[in-house]
Amino acid sequence: MLPLVVAFDCDGVLLDSNGMKIKAFTDALSSYPADVVARFSTFQQASFGLSRYRLVDRFFTDFLGRQAEAGEKERVLAAFGAICADLYPRQSLTEGALAALERLAAMSIPMFVVSGSDQAELRAVLRAIGLARFFRTIYGSPETKSANLARVGREAPAVRTVFVGDAEADWKAAREHGCDFYYLSTWAADRLGMARLKAEHGFVEVGGLPAFADALLGGGDGLEARMNAVDEPSPSHGIAR
């Protein structure tokens, strides 16, 4: 069993892409009543982590109050997908993300992505921007985050699994599977809601992935220092010269 595994959400954690996703849905739904779309957009912002498939289902049942007509969901999903295909690869990495991933990779810590984004799209984007190399597997929708965290557990059983996310759906999935949850707040879509959740449940909040790596690996007596010390001779039992 591995000592430590780390899983990351993507939007708002690896990429500063939450705003793009909200606008992409608004644009994909532009043919529907504006007031309904505005209410749905507020719901989407508070429900980050749900897949586009579940969001489209909720748009029709909860906001339009009807079932989708034949092919209607597919048209919305295709429009949303086309917007994401154009804009997703152009989103910025969250500040310090690359350096933090390199630091964790240097420690040989197995890393995964568990996201609500479409899996094929997400894998293509992370390959295109050069991040895919850091991860054993990149998991996305249509499977839920909870199901994908379970897949991580089967693929890489660990004493400790950490999930870094920015939304309530991430926290719920982590809690369901006994993972330590770190909330990355800077790019979160629903910071007010997450602040309430943190006040009630007391999880760790970090401002970015460099701060997460610091918290995870510790200072001079932390995991990083202990692992580095393996390669260094003891002062009293050094190599004879």
Does residue 136 fall inside a structural domain? yes
Q: Of 65, 136, 74, which is closest to residue 105 (Cα–Cα)?
A: 136
pTM of the model: 0.87
Q: Which pLDDT does position 46 carry in this prediction? A: 85
Does residue 176 fall inside a structural domain? yes
Shared domain check, 53 and 8: no
What gap in Å lies between CA 97 and CA 130, rounded to an integer? 12
End-of-domain residue from the set 74, 89, 104:
89
Q: Which pLDDT does position 176 carry in this prediction? A: 97
Q: Which pLDDT does position 233 carry in this prediction? A: 43
Instruction: Work out the burial of residue 145: count CB atoms within 10 Å of its CB; fewer than 13 is exposed, 13-18 middle, 19 or more buried.
Output: buried
End-of-domain residue from the set 69, 89, 109:
89
End-of-domain residue from the set 70, 89, 108:
89
What gap in Å lies between CA 104 and CA 99, rounded to an integer? 9
- Give the CA angle between residues 59, 168, 22 to the nearest 5°: 45
Does residue 240 fall inside a structural domain? no
Q: What SS3 state is found at 17? A: coil
With beta carbons less than 8 A apart as the criterion, state whether 32 and 140 touch: no
Please give the average pLDDT of every successive group of 10 residues along the chain, which has 241 residues.
97 96 95 96 86 93 96 96 94 98 98 95 96 98 94 98 96 97 96 96 97 86 51 37 23
Instruction: Domain count for the chain, please give it.
Output: 2
